[in-house]
Amino acid sequence: MDKARLRQKYLEERNKRLRPDGNDQYLRVAGRLAHYLDDPYTPVTAREPETDHVTVAFIGGGFAGLVTAARLSEVGVKDVRVIEKGGDFGGTWYWNRYPGAQCDTASMVYMPLLEETGHMPSEKYAHAPEILAHCQRIGKQYGLYDNALFHTEVVSLDWDEAASRWRIRTSRGDDFTTQFVGMGTGPLHVPKLPGISGIESFKGHSFHTSRWDYGYTGGDPSGALMEKLADKRVGIIGTGATSVQCVPHLARACKELYVFQRTPSSVDVRANAPIDPKWFSGIATPGWQQRWLENFTANQAGGSAEEDLVQDGWTDLSRRIRARIMDLPREQRTPPNMLAAFEDSDFEKMEEIRARVDSIVQDRETAAKLEAWYRQLCKRPCFHDSYLQAFNTPRTRLVDTDGKGVERITENSVVVAGTEYQLDCIIYASGFEVGTEYKRRAGFDLTGRGGVKLSDYWASGMRTKHGIHVHGFPNAFFVQPTQGANLISNVPHNLSEAAKTIALMVRHAQANGFREIEVTKEAEDRWVELLLTGAGRMIGSPDCTPGYYNNEGREPGPAANLNVGHPAGPMAYFKYIDAWRNAGQFEGLEFR
Ligand code: NDP
């Protein structure tokens, strides 16, 4: 390995992609583009607005809402109303039904409440329809459907000081109160479009991957052949994790497929396999999923587990780093040597991933363009065993834009470097808003004690205790990874720990007749100070090629320094929070 050459190449590729407009390069899907948000899966049905009172309202019906409602139900809090903009439970799995959609994290650790529901995942990496069905299973088992409000978006959330309640208003005219409110709106739920000149002039068909139009393409989410594309010239813009999964399906269906690439993804081995029921019944002894969760986290997020139950691409890089560090004599295990071990393992891994492209893709020029020149965690790592192969099919063509992106769109074509590609359909695999304001993505702001807006309180960065509580916003709980474990490779682990914590706090309040739970300012400040003693953000280095992980390569400002997790890592946080909630003192919170 010529490390100096690799560093230089990574830098050149990054610099080529930096652009002054950062996040502003993307179009907000609103106004004339709002139709890209229409729900193609479930018709919206009329209903009367709700004007009542509930014990807990939860905003978002994805994994966060489902696990929190389930844990609340287990401790006897059953009056929970989930508010969800989709037409059913599922969150990201409700919207993302594109062909080939699949979980990149092993089902055994990714799918929540497997033990409680008795569901055995059918594959090591489950496909989207199974995960959506699992969300519905949780909804049914915990009785969440009756009280849920689908196709409903919260427009305001205001603390009523006198009544110690939150008042919620929605896009469907609901105006009701709740004692507690949970928020699990997720980071990736607002589709964005590339700001390509002429995008609105295209007269053919087009849609975003999170609103797949099976009426136009034929086929279905299980991957049935999209027979209606047999006479269509289709272009897909974007080559992130979504595109990697749906391109193989498009490749076998379209008359012609053009894959417009700005930056290649790193695509490692998938090695999916069915789960053997016999094997599963052997391992599924009481507490199995918690053991698997902890093992996965310990293996790939700084722990020291002896065995690796999951054995996959997420744990591979960490295994290599650990092996390198362990090879060093103890006195040489210094921070610079650890960073070197990290870099060497990364170079080695990425060289393997690039070699894999060469071994699979037959056309030399195409293969070279599909090689990713950045560190593995600069962009979302992908794992697939038929994406690269799709470029060996005669009707599939990679149109690489050399980091510049599509030049323009006309009435009937996509233009790259002056060449026009005539198309019947454009599919936007252009991802979701991440770097935009929380309030804009959520669609509402919180107005807490004394009329303070959350957006103002967080103007200089997020401030919480445990990523869950915010001072001045009593009885409101955030269910998400940041300022908690911040475990990115398996987000549901963060959510399920937050859910357990919230359930115990609500039960404690109810059992003792408290109407309010609030973190003290001192406890919040102490937590934030602790977070800032850590090594900083694990992903999002400005040295990386631009993308949503690093604010499109632009300096994100000091507020981003607070987008971190516990300084001792995810495993340490999970141990800490388990002890904190089970101690029953809820140190740092005030119950009134
Ligand atoms: P991404 O944001 O990852 O990808 C968007 C793609 O669009 C990128 O390839 C981007 O290029 C490209 N793009 C943007 N603008 C242009 C342009 N003007 N011209 C050409 N190309 C352009 O979105 P995804 O939907 O792929 O993935 C989002 C996230 O969702 C993932 O990172 C992952 O976290 C999650 N996901 C998880 C899956 C799983 O677990 N199974 C599956 C799918 C998604 P560039 O890279 O240069 O910016």
318-336 pLDDT, tens digit each: 788 888 888 889 898 888 8
Which residues lie closer than 8 Å to 388 by C-beta, 6 or more apart? 267, 356, 357, 360, 361, 370
Q: Are residues 95 and 196 in the same domain?
A: no
Give how far Cα 31 sits from Cα of 189, 194, 442, 588, Å: 18, 15, 17, 44
Q: Which of ligand 1's atoms lies nearest the C-alpha of 431?
A: 23
Q: Are residues 501 and 576 in the same domain?
A: yes
Residue 536 confidence (pLDDT):
73
Cα 235 to averaged position of ligand 1 atoms, centre (Å): 15
Q: Which of 409, 428, 447 is the last residue of a domain?
A: 428
Residue 315 confidence (pLDDT):
74
Has residue 325 been placed in a domain?
no
Q: Which of ligand 1's atoms lies nearest the C-alpha of 401?
A: 20
**What number of other Cβ atoms are within 10 A of residue 278's Cβ?**
7
Contact criterion met (CB below 8 Å) for 260 and 401: yes
Mutate to test the pocket of ligand 1, among 197, 268, 380 (most ligand atoms within 8 A of CB): 380
Question: In whole angstroms, what is the distance from residue 385 CA to residue 275 CA?
Answer: 18
Question: In whole angstroms, what is the distance from residue 106 CA to residue 125 CA?
Answer: 5
Has residue 315 been placed in a domain?
no
Has residue 179 been placed in a domain?
yes
Q: Are residues 60 and 165 in the same domain?
A: yes
Reading the block at residue 179, the tokens are 């004692």
Q: Which of ligand 1's atoms lies nearest the C-alpha of 26?
A: 15
Could you list the residue range(s) of the whole structural domain that residue 260 is in?
3-30+191-270+343-428
Contact criterion met (CB below 8 Å) for 441 and 185: yes
User: 586's torsion region: left (phi>0), alpha (psi -120 to 50) or beta?
Assistant: left
Has residue 305 been placed in a domain?
no
Residue 303 confidence (pLDDT):
58
Count how many domains the chain has. Answer: 2
Q: Are residues 198 and 96 in the same domain?
A: no
Residue 95 confidence (pLDDT):
98
Residue 481 confidence (pLDDT):
96
Has residue 297 been placed in a domain?
no
Q: Are residues 58 and 146 in the same domain?
A: yes
Has residue 441 been placed in a domain?
yes
Q: Are residues 401 and 477 in the same domain?
A: no
288-308 pLDDT, tens digit each: 999 999 999 988 765 566 788
Q: Are residues 82 and 121 in the same domain?
A: yes
Contact criterion met (CB below 8 Å) for 548 and 434: yes
Pocket of ligand 1 (CB under 6 A): 17, 102-104, 188, 194, 196, 237-243, 245, 260, 262-263, 380, 401, 405-406, 429-432, 547-548
Q: Is 428 helix (H, G, I), strand (E, B) or coil?
A: strand
Residue 564 confidence (pLDDT):
92
Say what the alpha-carbon torsion angle 559, 561, 562, 564 is, to the nearest 10 degrees: 150
Q: Are residues 59 and 185 in the same domain?
A: yes
Cα 428 to averaged position of ligand 1 atoms, centre (Å): 10
Q: Are residues 348 and 413 in the same domain?
A: yes
Reading the block at residue 522, the tokens are 């001192």
Q: Is 189 helix (H, G, I), strand (E, B) or coil?
A: coil
Cα 328 to averaged position of ligand 1 atoms, centre (Å): 38
Query: What residues form DSSP beta bridges with 205?
Result: 425
Residue 301 confidence (pLDDT):
67
Question: In whole angstroms, what is the distance from residue 179 CA to residue 410 CA?
Answer: 52
Q: Are residues 213 and 166 in the same domain?
A: no
CATH of the domain at 391: 3.50.50.60
User: 279's torsion region: left (phi>0), alpha (psi -120 to 50) or beta?
Assistant: alpha
Q: Are residues 584 and 499 in the same domain?
A: yes
Q: Are residues 422 and 469 in the same domain?
A: no
Task: pLDDT tens for the chain, 592 residues: list them.
Answer: 799 999 999 999 999 999 999 889 999 999 999 999 999 999 999 999 999 999 999 999 999 999 999 999 999 999 999 999 999 999 999 999 999 999 999 999 999 999 999 999 999 999 999 999 999 999 999 999 999 999 999 999 999 999 999 999 999 999 999 999 999 999 888 999 999 999 999 999 999 999 999 999 999 999 999 999 999 999 999 999 999 999 999 999 999 999 999 999 999 999 999 999 999 999 999 999 999 999 999 887 655 667 888 887 777 777 888 888 888 898 988 888 888 888 999 999 999 999 999 999 999 999 999 999 999 989 999 999 999 999 999 999 999 999 999 999 999 999 999 999 999 999 999 999 987 778 888 889 999 999 999 999 999 999 999 999 999 999 999 999 999 999 988 999 999 999 999 999 999 999 999 999 999 999 999 999 999 998 777 677 888 999 888 888 888 888 888 999 999 999 999 999 999 999 989 999 999 9
Q: Which of 428, 460, 483 is the last residue of a domain?
A: 428
Has residue 143 been placed in a domain?
yes
Question: In whole angstroms, what is the distance from residue 167 CA to residue 338 CA?
Answer: 50
Q: Which of 362, 396, 428 is the last residue of a domain?
A: 428
Has residue 543 been placed in a domain?
no
Element (H, E) at 93: helix 92-95
